[in-house]
Amino acid sequence: MKLNIGRFASYFGAIVFTVIFAFPLVFMVMSSLKPDFNLLQDVGTMRSFLPVGPISFDNYVGVYDRIPLLRFIFNSLLVSTITVVLGLFVNSMLGFALARMEFRGKNFVFAVIISTLILPFEVLAIPLLYLMVKAPWISFNGGFHITQGIFNNYQVQILPFIANAVSVFLFMQYFKSLPKELDEAALVDGASWFMIYRKIAMPLAGPAIGTVSVLTFLPMWNSYIWPVMTVQDEEFRPIMIGLQYFYVNFGTAWGQIMAYLTILTIPVVILFLSMQRFFVNSIATTGIKG
C-alpha cells in the first residue's frame, strides 16, 4: 500500500514537471498559429495552449516576407557544418596524439587543454574581437592582397570554433578506451602512426564522432553574441541574428516572433530526437569523467 502511494507521488511529480517544462513551448507553437488579436485575447486562459480560433500559417508567411529567411538558414547550416567537419579532423587528431602516442611536451599540452576547459567564451569574446579586427587576412581581388581585419564574412564565424577543448577531451577519452594491442599489432605489421589513426582509430570512433558532432553543431546553430559583434552584412548573417529584425516594431508582431522562435527551435529538436542516444551519452559521460 505504501509503495503505491510512493508511485502515485512519482507520477504526480513527473506530470507536474511535464506541465512546467512544456507550457511555455506549447504556448509558443500555438501562438505562432494565431493572428495577433486572437493571440493576445487568448493569453491568460487555457485557450492560449490550444489550437483554437482562426488557425493559419500566416505568421510564418509573414516571417518569410519580413526577413531573408532562406539566406539565414543557409548561412547557419553552412557555418555549422563546416565547423563540425573541420573540428572532427582537428580535434580527433589532437585527441589521438594525446591518448595513444608519446611525444615531447605532451604533459604541457594536456595541461593547457584542461585549463581552457573552464573558461567561458564570454571572457574571451572582447579580446578575440580585438584580435579579429587587427588580424591580417589574405583576400583575392584580381590578385592577392593582405588586408586588415577578419569580420563580416564566414571565416570569422568558423575559425575560432574549430579547435575545441571539450571535443579534444572527448576524443581523447574515447581513444584511451580502445585496447592498446591494436596499435602494437599494426606497428608490427609495418603500419605508420598516421595509418593507425586513419584506418583503425577513426573507423572505431563512431560514438565519439556522433557526440562531438552534436555538441559542436548545437552551439554553432544557436550562436548569437559572436555574430552580433562580428557580422554586419545581411549576406553572412546566421539565423539567430534574424531575431533583431523583430525588435524594431517591438510588441506589434508577437505572432510572427513566436513563429520565428518555433522555426529556430524545430531543427534542434528534430536533431535531438534522431540522435538522442549521442546526446544523452555525451552529456552523461562528461559528468562521470570530469
- Grid coordinates representing 228? 552580433
Q: Residue 65: CB partners within 8 Å, gap ≥ 6?
A: none
If the CB atoms of residues 113 and 236 are measured against other proteins, the closer one turns out to be 113
Q: What is the CB neighbour count within 10 angstroms for residue 258?
A: 22
Task: Tell the smallest beta-carbon distance from residue 269 to other proteins (Å).
Answer: 6
Cell of 245: 529584425
> Which CB sits closer to other proteins, 24 or 142?
24
Cell numbers describing residue 286: 562528461
CA 18 to chain centroid, in Å, comes to: 25
Q: How far is the CB of 64 from other proteins (least distance, A)?
A: 18
Which residue, 125 or 204, is less far from other proteins as judged by CB?
Answer: 125
| Cβ-based nearer residue to other proteins, 48 or 143 | 48
CB of 133 to other proteins, least distance (A): 6
Residue 8 Cβ vs other proteins, minimum distance, rounded to whole Å: 11
CB of 229 to other proteins, least distance (A): 6
Q: Which residues are within 8 A (CB) of 46 and not within 5 positions of it... i.e. 6 or more apart?
A: none
Q: Which is nearer to other proteins, 26 or 143 (CB)?
A: 26
Q: Which cell is 140 given?
A: 583575392
End-to-end CA distance of the chain: 41
